[in-house]
Amino acid sequence: MPDQPMSNATDHHALAPATRLVGLGRPARAPGAPAGPGIELSSTYVAGEGPTYGRFSNRTWESLERVLGDLEGGAALSFASGMAAISACVDLVPHGGVMVLPQHVYNGSSSLVDQLAEAGRLTARRVDPADTAATVAALDGADMIWLESPTNPMLEVADLPTILAAAGQRGVVSVVDNTFNTPLLARPLELGADVVVHSVTKYLAGHSDVVLGATVTGDDDLLARLRNHRTLHGAIPGPHEAWLALRGMRTLHLRMERACANAAELATRLAEHDAVARVRYPGLGAIVCLEPTGGQPAAEHIEQSVELWLPATSLGGVESSLERRRRHAGEPESVPDALVRLSVGVEDVDDLWRDLDAALRSFSA
Ligand SMILES: *Cc1c(COP(=O)(O)O)cnc(C)c1O
């Protein structure tokens, strides 16, 4: 791992997240040294001390892991995608074990768990994570609890401290998908989670140009098992992707600040819009969901008529995007037909509003 220029500071945790995002994971400060890490393209290393093979370790991954681990408060491992990191976590459930997960959860996580359940690998127990008592009750006899808060795309909010404490008391391994929040809005490890998982693809990398994932844990045994999974399943990121993700992360605080401010403003304006029946906005983050009064046809009209917003799945890029979630066959039927999920980006909020407002107004049933 590269030395840190800020290791000279008396206590780098006295430094704010913004400063650590910018400064960590850089090569040792020395005359002629580069300001940032290189892209280490090597499968092969000279025998002796240090790295041995490109599937086991890579110094570009480690720069990214240093920054993300510090921000979340644990040790990070980067993976080929968010789903590769999620698979590694689900693999921590013992054979025949019980996994508790939200009814509404990222659809890749949902499908993976359903397929494993069908194959007899594990038993899935679905809960509404906003119902704290029911979620805690489901922990009895469970091996793992999976949480997202807010959930995708219904934006339900869980009482993480209570649920995580209950899981801890019962020895149930807890995993929180922190993709929507990033460590700037929530640090689940500090609330008692065993593992945090990220689709780095989204806000962390932030520019819709890289697919990458990560786990973060403060538990040495879990870290060793996750690393072993990554090595033996070959779920490793490309060094170039890791480098792009780290470059994106340098401005995470600036992007989140603008995107969250834009989202709060749009949620307020949408709540008063005549053509909007319902707005879901958990009070933080940059994801807002709306349901137009005109139902599914109006939602489809919005997707087709926006000019600035990108009609696309995925989220967390600098550019604003939206989609009607039920256009995906796998989306649960409990998600309203007309629900449009907005990923609010960092553009000018009035330009975003004009485009959305025009799309909402131009629908005629
Ligand atoms: C996109 C996403 C994932 C999956 O990540 P990939 O990088 O696409 O594999 C997992 N969880 C959440 C909340 C996501 O938004």
Domains of the chain plus CATH, in order, are 12-249 (3.40.640.10), 252-361 (3.90.1150.10)
Q: Residue 163 has which token pair?
A: 């649920």
**Residues 263/283, Cβ–Cβ less than 8 Å:** no
Active site residue 106: yes
Residues with Cβ within 8 Å of residue 64, at least 6 apart in sequence: 25, 76, 78, 200, 214, 242, 243, 245, 246, 249
Q: What angle do CA 76, 33, 237 make, to 5 degrees?
A: 30
**Residue 211 alpha carbon to ligand 1 centre in Å:** 9
**Nearest ligand 1 atom, CA 152:** 13
For the beta carbon of residue 123, count every other beta carbon within 10 angstroms.
17
Cα 8 to ligand 1 centroid, rounded to whole Å: 36
Residue type, 252: L
Round the CA-based radius of gyration of the chain to a whole number and report it. Answer: 21
Give the ligand 1 atom nearest the CA of 85: 9
Distance (Å) from CA 58 to ligand 1 centroid? 23
Atom of ligand 1 nearest to the CA of 211: 7
Please confirm, yes or no, whether 177 is among the known catalytic residues.
yes
Q: Residue 147's CB: how many other CB atoms inside 10 A?
A: 24
Spatial contact of 39 and 27, defined as CB atoms under 8 Å apart: no
- ∠ at Cα 347 (342, 352), nearest 5°? 55
**pLDDT score recorded for residue 13:** 56
- Predicted local confidence at residue 248, as pLDDT: 98
102 close to ligand 1 (CB < 6 Angstrom): no
Please tell me the predicted confidence (pLDDT) of residue 10: 46
| pLDDT tens per residue across all 365 residues of the chain | 344 544 444 455 589 999 999 999 999 999 999 999 999 999 999 999 999 999 999 999 999 999 999 999 999 999 999 999 999 999 999 999 999 999 999 999 999 999 999 999 999 999 999 999 999 999 999 999 999 999 999 999 999 999 999 999 999 999 999 999 999 999 999 999 999 999 999 999 999 999 999 999 999 999 999 999 999 999 999 999 999 999 999 999 999 999 999 999 999 999 999 999 999 999 999 999 999 999 999 999 999 999 999 999 999 999 999 999 999 988 999 999 999 999 999 999 999 999 999 999 999 86
**Nearest one of 150, 118, 103, 171 to 260, comparing CA atoms:** 150
- 106, 159, 187, 203: which is the annotated catalytic residue? 106
Q: Is the CB–ligand 1 distance for residue 177 below 6 Å?
A: yes
pTM over 0.85: yes
DSSP state of 53: B
Query: From the CB of 201, is ligand 1 less than 6 Å away?
Result: yes
pLDDT score for 181: 97
Is residue 114 annotated as part of the catalytic site, yes or no? no
pLDDT at 2: 44
- Quick one: pLDDT at residue 364? 85
Spatial distance between the Cα atoms of 313 and 81, rounded to a whole number of angstroms: 16
Phi, psi (deg, nearest 5) at residue 284: -150, 170
pLDDT of residue 8: 41
Q: Cβ(81) to ligand 1 under 6 A?
A: yes
For position 12, what pLDDT does the model report?
53
